[in-house]
Structure 1
Amino acid sequence: MLILADENIPFSKEAFGHIGQVETFNGRALQNEDLKNANILLVRSITKVNESLLKDTPVQFVGSATIGFDHIDLNYLQKHNITFSRAPGCNAISAAEYVVSSLLILAKLKGFNLQDKTVGVIGCGNVGSRVIKRLEVLGVQCLPHDPPLQEETGDTKYVNRDTVLGADIISMHVPLITSGKHPTLHLANKAFFEKLSNNGIFINTSRGDVVVENELLYKLKTQPTFNAILDVWENEPNIDPELLTLASIASPHIAGYSLDGKVRGTEMIYHALCKDLNIAPQWKALDGLPKPGLLSMSFSENIDNADLLYQAVTSCYDSRDDDSLLRQTVIDKKQGLSFDGLRKNYRARREFSCLQINLANDKVEISQQLSQLGFNTKLL
């Protein structure tokens, strides 16, 4: 059995090797002829899986180690009895931590108190709900907006479009949907940005195509106090260098790229394939995971809680590191780097849960706050 796996799916050979022969591929370069002998296809979001890719191939299982499925032609798979599995929620913690880190950094750079801002969260599924939970732990008022979820649940907590666009900060966490009652393609358009505060902040970690980038560019160029935190872009990997220049924080589609999140994605499609083939799983996700570079931090009783929080978060993940590398790649055209190269060679970033925070015995409140953000805390 031949298993083709995207080169950016971690531990693919370790996990799937007992099932069949595993070969890896470049997710943007995969073609139909590459699949002539493949039984299993494992992808990430950059590979379009449709008739042109799968026609006249023996592929019987497609696994996507990602949350979304806009890159998958589900109708074609169903019509040809090809099993499909994905990994909803696998990188949600990582993406939420990216938002928290970026907002704390921007607040420090721009000199505002995050607790004084309202955050409109558009899309309240796996990622959006975790963003809300973490921001509320920090004392930030969140305005959730998710028409499909509101219709499904009848929950009155969701606010309407006008209300959410009145927030100080907008954070996008929607799937890319091109048709139907609630399409998200170009959801953030001219009318959208016209409603946002000229002093506002726009965050997008969902999909680049939910934004009309020319309208975002216009907002940034005409309103110098408007800020954008961008992890996803139209036309990836060929992103707009002008938009990159104007963004406050920018990164190469890696918000959900913690090692923990990617391994969860591998684990989820691995178990789905084992179930489909009716074989017992042998690989355990924790096998072979490297130790975090930073295992623990200790703080004295004299440190201010806000400074402690900032240091803990940014020591675990600082989005300025990814921002700097992306600007070197696109603007400075640094030799040997590329948008996809940054993703392929991404460091082993670990989530907050991998870091233990040691605190003075009287730091009970901040200890509870850090625990709710995902850190392991210990009062000494």
Structure 2
Amino acid sequence: MKLMIDDAVWGYKEIFSGFGEITTLPGRLITRESLLDCEILIVRSRTKVNKQLLDGTKVRFVGSTVAGLDHVDENYLKENAISFVSAQGCNANAVAEYVISALSNLANDHNFDLSTKTLGIIGVGNVGSRLDFKANQLGITTLLNDPIREANEGKNKFVDLDEALSADIVTFHTPLTFSGAHPSHNLLGSQNFNLIKEDAILINAARGGIIDESLWEKTKTKENIIDCWENEPNINPRLQRNSYWATPHIAGHSIDAKFMGSFMIYKELCSFNKAPINNEIESLINPEIRAINESSLHDTLNSIYSFFDDHEALKDSSKFEDYRRHYPERYEWKHFHTNFIIPHKL
């Protein structure tokens, strides 16, 4: 069996070599011609998986080791009996940690108490629910907007979009969709950008295109945090210059998230091939526990990982893709002993 794997997939050799012969390429360079003799395709977000890529190939299993789905034509795969699995939720905790780190730094630099702020969370799925849990531990009042969950669970814990957008801090965690009952493309756009307060903090760590960047760049806010951009890697220079953090789509790039993305696809491929799971793979991540002796949330989180380094790296925007591909090692908070009690994951 031959496998084509994006060379940015974490641990591809250790995790997938038992299935057959592996060929790797950068995700953007995977083409139809490179797949003609492959049966298994494992990608991240940079490969557009559609008819143009797969027509006439032997590919019968596609695994995506990231949470997003907008790079995959799921209808085409289903119509052609090609099995597809993705790693939904694999990076949810990493993204929630990114947002909490941003908030702790903003509170420190602007001298405000997080427990006095409201946080509008737009999209309360894998990421949003974890962020809500962590924010509540810090005493932050959350305003949750998720029309799909509200329809299924009732209105008690949810607010409408307009109310969530009126929060002191507004953060987006929806998938990027263009159709259906609740499309998210330009969810924050000409119809409602006026609801964002001038002293609000606005965050996009979900997908580019959820916020209309042509309006965002003209809108006065206290601060902007941007990890996801409309035209990656060709990012909006005005928004970049005016952002507190402008990072190259790395909020979910912890080692833990990358491993979990690979491991989730590995288990699905075992099922597809009716192969036993190698339990040793689950223990591939086992870093030495490190002690953090700081006495504040701000100093503790920055000692674990400073996202300002990622912001600094993107000041040369031509490094967007290269920095993502060679991202520094970053472990999630669970691997650290801390003096200051930090929010633990859901």
- Paired amino acid for 2:232: E
Q: 1:170 to 1:58 in 2, by over 3 A?
A: same
Deviation for aligned residue 1:285:
3.6
- Paired amino acid for 1:323: H
Contact 1:15 1:283 in 2 (8 A): no
Contact 2:172 2:203 in 1 (8 A): yes
Per the alignment, residue 107 of structure 2 pairs with 107
**Which of 338, 341, 349 does residue 322 from structure 2 map onto?**
341
Matched, 1:71 2:71: yes
Task: Output the TM-score relative to the length of structure 1.
Answer: 0.88
Contact 1:201 1:228 in 2 (8 A): yes
Per the alignment, residue 296 of structure 1 pairs with 291
Per the alignment, residue 362 of structure 1 pairs with none
Matched, 1:231 2:227: yes
**Which of 277, 302, 318 does residue 314 from structure 1 map onto?**
302
**Which of 238, 241, 248 does residue 245 from structure 1 map onto?**
241
Per the alignment, residue 14 of structure 1 pairs with 14
Per the alignment, residue 23 of structure 1 pairs with 23
1:103-147 CA-to-partner distances (Å, cap 9, x unmatched) read: 111121222222111000000000000011001100000000000
SS in 1 for 2:18: coil
Structure 2, unmatched stretches of 5+, are: none
Larger CA Rg, structure 1 vs 2: 1
Deviation for aligned residue 1:64:
0.5
Matched, 1:274 2:274: no
Structure 1, unmatched stretches of 5+, are: 300-306, 360-365, 376-380
Deviation for aligned residue 1:190:
2.2
Deviation for aligned residue 1:241:
1.5
Q: 1:290 to 1:24 in 2, by over 3 A?
A: farther
Matched, 1:177 2:186: no
Taking the aligned partners of 2:114 and 2:310, their CA distance within structure 1 comes to 22
Per the alignment, residue 38 of structure 2 pairs with 38
- Paired amino acid for 1:346: Y
Say which is worse superposed, 140-149 or 189-198, in terms of deviation.
Answer: 189-198
Per the alignment, residue 253 of structure 2 pairs with 257
SS in 1 for 2:192: helix
Contact 2:293 2:300 in 1 (8 A): no
Taking the aligned partners of 1:248 and 1:50, their CA distance within structure 2 comes to 36
Deviation for aligned residue 1:149:
1.1
Taking the aligned partners of 1:121 and 1:182, their CA distance within structure 2 comes to 16
1:301-333 CA-to-partner distances (Å, cap 9, x unmatched) read: xxxxxx522222111122111101111x22xx6
Equivalent positions of 1:105-254 (< 5 A) are: 105-219=105-219, 223=220, 225-254=221-250
What is the CA RMSD across the aligned residues, in angstroms?
1.6
Contact 1:176 1:207 in 2 (8 A): yes
Deviation for aligned residue 1:153:
2.1
Deviation for aligned residue 1:200:
0.3
Contact 1:188 1:212 in 2 (8 A): yes
Q: 1:374 to 1:176 in 2, by over 3 A?
A: closer
Q: Give the ranges of 4+ consecutive aligned residues of structure 1 lying more than 4 Å apart after TM superposition.
A: none
Matched, 1:284 2:255: no
1:233-263 CA-to-partner distances (Å, cap 9, x unmatched) read: 0110111222100111111000000000110
**Which of 295, 317, 325 does residue 313 from structure 2 map onto?**
325
- Paired amino acid for 2:335: C
- Paired amino acid for 1:115: S
Taking the aligned partners of 2:266 and 2:138, their CA distance within structure 1 comes to 36
Taking the aligned partners of 1:110 and 1:297, their CA distance within structure 2 comes to 24
Deviation for aligned residue 1:161:
1.6
SS in 1 for 2:95: helix
Contact 1:177 1:184 in 2 (8 A): yes
